[in-house]
């Protein structure tokens, strides 16, 4: 199964943090040859796992043996589980709520789950060097999160699954936030 990546993706990701959505993490756990190729290509970036993504990856596994394999898979040095303390968690929560308010004005509210909002809030909080890798870019507001590169992975059934690397667009966010504040002030 082949993997196609945006040109010079290795240079672009040099010493960046990539927050992984559960769909990409699950893709890595599917096929060892693909995973080896991806790890070697993206070696300069640090894969970040949000605790909520960790929960999604480990939940509802029927066999204890399979759960143990998944737990071992998430261990460093490949992945770093980014746990926030109380103060930082509160800031992320506020970012998530603010993003949801902006989404509500951009026909986005029904698409994004709580986990999606938290991942978006984390990437927004650390936007200088954090990017998000997801197979469902529609879960993130495409005005605020811009696609900067893609990774396409051929599937067992012959189909192709594309994952997007999203970057937080602070300029656009500030504009949308300004519009939201203007609406608040009207009443």
For other proteins, the binding residues (CB under 8 A) are 15-17, 29-32, 35-36, 39-40, 43-46, 60-63, 65-66, 69-70, 72-73, 77-78, 91-92, 94-95, 97-98, 101, 104-105, 124-130, 173, 177, 180, 183-184, 186-187
Note whether 153 and 3 are within 8 A (CB): yes
CA 167 – CA 146 distance, rounded (Å): 5
Q: 18 or 149: whose CB is closer to other proteins? A: 18
Q: How far is the CB of 4 from other proteins (least distance, A)?
A: 21
Nearer Cβ to other proteins, position 27 or 116?
27
Q: Identify which of 88, 79, 139, 145 has the alpha carbon closest to the alpha carbon of residue 115.
A: 139
CB of 54 to other proteins, least distance (A): 16
In angstroms, the CA 169 to CA 146 distance is 7
Rounded least distance, CB 150 to other proteins, Å: 22
Joined tokens for residue 138: 């529609």
Minimum CB distance to other proteins, residue 63 (Å): 7
């Amino acid at each position: 199964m082949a993997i196609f990546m945006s040109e010079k993706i290795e240079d672009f990701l040099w010493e960046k943090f990539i927050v992984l959505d559960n769909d990409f993490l699950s893709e890595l756990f599917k096929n060892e040859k693909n995973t080896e190729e991806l790890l070697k290509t993206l070696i300069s970036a640090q894969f970040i796992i949000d605790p909520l993504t960790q929960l999604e990856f480990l939940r509802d596994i029927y066999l204890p043996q399979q759960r143990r394999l998944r737990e071992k898979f998430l261990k460093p040095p490949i992945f770093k589980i980014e746990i926030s303390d109380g103060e930082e968690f509160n800031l992320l929560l506020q970012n998530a709520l603010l993003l949801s308010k902006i989404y509500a004005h951009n026909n986005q509210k029904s698409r994004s789950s709580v986990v999606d909002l938290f991942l978006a809030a984390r990437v927004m909080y650390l936007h200088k060097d954090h990017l998000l890798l997801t197979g469902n870019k529609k879960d993130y507001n495409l005005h605020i999160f811009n696609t900067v590169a893609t990774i396409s992975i051929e599937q067992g059934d012959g189909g192709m699954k594309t994952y997007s690397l999203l970057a937080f667009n602070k300029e656009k966010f500030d504009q949308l936030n300004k519009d939201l504040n203007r609406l608040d002030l009207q009443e």
